[in-house]
Structure 1
Amino acid sequence: MQWNPSQYERFRAPRERPGRDLLAALPPLRPGMVTDLGCGTGYLTRQLADRFPDAAVTGLDSDPAMLARAAAIASRVRWRQGDIATWVPDAPQDLIFSNAALQWLPGHDVLFPCLAGCLTDGGVLAVQMPDNFDAPSHLLLRETAADGPWAPALRTAMDHHHALLSPADYWRLLRPHCGSVDIWSSDYLHVLEGADPVLEWTAGTALLPVMARLPADQAAAFREAYANRLRLAYPAEGDGRTLFPFRRLFIVARI
């Protein structure tokens, strides 16, 4: 699965908003070591570096194109290519930050206690994950995948849609390791512009593992079939803009 930084950043402002809300929810900190897991193009990582000028800040991502876009803007962040699932920090971290990345990984019952174990005494784990997998954008993606000649190739393409646990489960996982665990959800109403904007939004994220598994002709046919369903689920308003409700899950836990 290859990411396209330009496609991802077509909707940078609404994508960035939950990350900025996560930043705003951080407790008072004077960290020495900070890592942003799944940093993407780095716009939030650079904000972490600005907020904590005395900290060593690392941005980790598995995609070279996203990291190249991140590194193209001068900053003091250390950019590293790597897999979150196998990441081991060089030293205990004062802040592990992750915005819209951990939902791609399975095994949260193991992952989250492991991340808590990478923190210093008083360290913070701050996570935001999309919790929109039962919305039409994702339901229709799974429906389209199951309805066509591409179905065998896509049987496991969206397994990550089931990665998220309930808020209570995350609390139970983290509470034995953390002195405080704060978990909440926020519903965002994104107002998108342009033709087929929900399709273009998902083309930067949720649609990627589907396209990666299909030959060009099937990929084009799948995209059009999915687009037809999305147009019915997300009709344009009278002014031409499209409303896209999106729920996100936030976790801020402190050792």
Structure 2
Amino acid sequence: MHSASTWDPHQYLRHAGHRTRPFLDLLARISELPNGDRPARIADIGCGPGNVTTLLAERWPTAHITGFDLSPEMLALAEKEYAGTTAGGGWLDFRSADAAHWMPDEPYDLIVSNAALQWVPNHPASLPLWIEGLTPGGTLAFQVPANFTSPSHALLGELCETPQWRSRLGDHGRRYVHILEPDDYLARLVGIGCETDTWDTTYYQLLTGEDPVLDWVKGTALRPVLTELADDSAAVHEFLAQYRDLLRRAYPPGPHGTVFPFRRVFAVARKGS
């Protein structure tokens, strides 16, 4: 979200099943919200194309839910597909906002973020302010990718730093590594008076198709590189060919597909009532 990259929501959604599973695991650990007899107020920071934001409406059908994202491409698809009255009589809308500067402008019962805060260098400093913006007993819940030392990301960073690409791409392959470990999030959130649950999970994802790991990262980690090279199709083709060959060696296909381990860090913090 905190990036000038051009996003492709359709490429991102090509692996929607695997990308949605961690959000479902996060959602399962969120207890009921302190909204009483009124509809819950929920914010989704870095909502992307809105496909997981709608899962919040299924869990809290009368809620007013707002998805925030910086990408015009993502917001356009989210608004087209999901904005308006929900099946349970709630309301779902979307607004442009940068997570690096977003602050609650009203009390929220739940602030949630799914695979977005890794793009936001200052997000740990924002946690106390987001907690302050919750209603008493409200919840902050998020998950972030934690696989930045895995071959897919390490190889991308190394390729960007080779003599051929360094002057054009600089640190584009590594600039989004801004997450903490579960114990660090736990200490920060408990320190501001929250009842907190943090954990990590490694998903052993079985991807199919030709060069599936390359196809995966085209929707996420490669976006800054593809944006930077967008006006030079020959450079895009050459970079992708070099990166593809590295990924083929790092993630060889097996008889049932290509195993792509993916670690994620989760935190659910409930504000004192």
**Is the Cα contact below 8 Å between 1:38 and 1:98 reproduced in 2?**
yes
Q: How many residues are treated as equivalent by the alignment?
A: 254
Q: Is the aligned partner of 1:150 residue 2:165?
A: yes
Dislocated runs of 4+, deviation >6 Å? none
**Is the Cα contact below 8 Å between 1:125 and 1:254 reproduced in 2?**
yes
CA distance in 2, matches of 1:82, 1:227: 34
CA distance in 2, matches of 1:119, 1:100: 21
**Is the Cα contact below 8 Å between 1:131 and 1:249 reproduced in 2?**
yes
CA distance in 2, matches of 1:199, 1:224: 10
**Is the Cα contact below 8 Å between 2:44 and 2:112 reproduced in 1?**
yes
Indicate the SS of the match to 1:235: coil
Show the 5 A alignment for 1:54-73.
54-73=62-81
Query: Which residue in 2 is equivalent to 1:18?
Result: 22
Q: 1:178 to 1:219 in 2, by over 3 A?
A: farther
- TM-score for both structures, normalised by structure 2: 0.88
**Aligned match of 1:40 in 48, 64, 67?**
48
**Is the Cα contact below 8 Å between 1:95 and 1:125 reproduced in 2?**
yes
Query: Which residue in 2 is equivalent to 1:243?
Result: 259
Query: Which residue in 1 is equivalent to 2:57?
Result: 49
Show the 5 A alignment for 1:76-225.
76-214=91-229, 215-225=232-242
**Is the Cα contact below 8 Å between 1:116 and 1:178 reproduced in 2?**
no
Indicate the SS of the match to 2:168: helix
Shift in Å at residue 129 of structure 1? 0.3
- List alignment gaps of at least 5 residues for structure 2: none
- TM-score for both structures, normalised by structure 1: 0.94
CA distance in 2, matches of 1:85, 1:193: 35
**Percent identity among equivalent residues?**
43
- List alignment gaps of at least 5 residues for structure 1: none
Across the aligned residues of Structure 1 and Structure 2, the Cα RMSD in angstroms comes to 1.5
